[in-house]
Amino acid sequence: MTRTVDLLIVGGGPAGAALAAMTAQAGVSTLLVERAGFPRDKVCGEFLAAEGCRVLERLGILDELVAAGATWMDSCRITHPRGTTLDAALPTLGRNGREALGISRERLDTSLLALAGRRGAEIRQRWEAVHPFLVDGRVRGFRVRPVAGDASEEIRAKLVVAADGRRSVLVRHLHPHLGDPRRTGPRSRFGLKVHLQSDGRAADRCIGLHLFDGGYAGLCAVEGGRLNLGLIVTVSALRSCGGSPDRLLDERLLANPELRSRIGSARTCGPWKSVGPLRFGARRAAASGAMFLGDAAGTVDPFCGEGMANALCGAELALPFALRAVEGGELSATLAREYGRAWTRTFGRVTRHARRLGQLLERPRLARPVLALLGGVARPIVPRLVAATRTDWNG
């Protein structure tokens, strides 16, 4: 069976779902396929920077998420296992303000996908895009099928948008060298995440970034009285703890006194999740007549906490280009170049800066004097350093 739509979006995370909501509202025939079934949990720092909050506000669901228990934050704290600490206010950028939000991916993604459906997008959960169709070197659609079934369908579209994450099926097909590494070594990095049930202390308004031997961990409050603990860790550090995230937590993370104090008596309230090996940096925003969005276009270092915000801002950035492509019947070479330049202007610089800071602070021996310097005589430059990793997107 073959079907034709204006826009096919592969991936129902924040980038894909937000774009589907926007294009459906604009009257575009939009079909979104998502391999997972929602609600679903995912490895993520679950920190949404202020510019991402403004996108949710424009979409009309920010109040809904706050009412569901999302936690406001306005400061950050970076700590070293030997006790060095750097405190800073989150930067105020443009019209976005500085208040960020702690919100679980389970809640955020489900709300965005539901919004897209209410606005008229066709949503297929538990469907996977298995193979792209190329005509004269241009992506013209995908073969899709239910995850739990054998029957498949050909979806033809004026525009295909790949928003299916760092392991995008279209990235793997067109540019396999740009995706995450296929091999794992001692220095390879993995992402881990678990929720902790709060010990009853009131949630603070600070996002914590805690260094440890072998990686770094982010800690923030999310809805339901929980704390989200997300970390980047090397394979060698995990192996030294027998491959056990619980041992890693006890033996390495809790060796950081600030993190130990912040967690208190909180205990894990769900399974650990993992993803990796990981590669950070820009990829391509457009290729072969298709657009890439979110982590499929480029993955920012989790150190700066911009992942979810970049996904939402990227959807707003992509919207006019997607509408023009649908109106013209395809993503022309000229339009693809315009979109690529716009993406690079918006996200390229901050992605590079975030990677440099991440590389600096994930080395504990170097990080300690740097934190001490930034907390002392170099403190006036801290706001500029933090702002350098932020996307000042105003819609």
Q: What is the per-residue DSSP string for 40-97? A: ---S---EE-HHHHHHHHHHT-HHHHHHTT-EEE-EEEEE-TTS-EEEEEPPP-GGG-
Q: Provide DSSP, 181-234.
A: -SS--TT-EEEEEEEEE--SPPP-SEEEEEEETTEEEEEEEETTTEEEEEEEEE
The reply to whether 112 falls in a domain is yes
> Would residue 362 count as lying in a domain?
yes
Residue 391 confidence class, pLDDT cut points 50, 70, 90: confident
Structural domain includes residue 106:
yes
The proportion of the chain whose per-residue pLDDT surpasses 90, expressed as a percent, equals: 65
Q: What is the pLDDT of residues 309-333, one digit of tens each?
A: 999 999 999 999 999 999 999 999 9
Domain containing residue 330: CATH number = 3.50.50.60
Residue 33, strand partner residues: 10, 124
B/e letters for 207-218, b = 16+ CB within 10 Å, e = fewer, are: bbbbbbbbbbbb
pTM for this predicted structure: 0.94
- Does the residue 252 lie in any domain? no
**Paired tokens of 76:** 């950050």
Domain containing residue 40: 2-181+279-387
pLDDT in tens, 142-164: 999 999 888 899 999 999 999 99
Token readout for 358 is 């991440």
What's 175's DSSP letter? -
Tell me whether residue 79 is in a domain: yes
Give residue-wise pLDDT tens across range 196-218. Answer: 987 666 567 899 999 998 999 99
Per the domain annotation, does 334 fall within a domain?
Answer: yes
SS3 content of the chain, % helix, strand, coil (to 5): 40, 30, 35
Tell me: the pLDDT tens digits for 87-127? 888 877 777 777 899 999 999 999 999 999 999 999 999 99
CA angle 133-137-143, nearest 5°? 5
Total domains in the chain come to: 1
Say if 235 falls within a structural domain.
Answer: no
Number of H helices and number of E strands within the chain? 13, 21
Say if 249 falls within a structural domain.
Answer: no
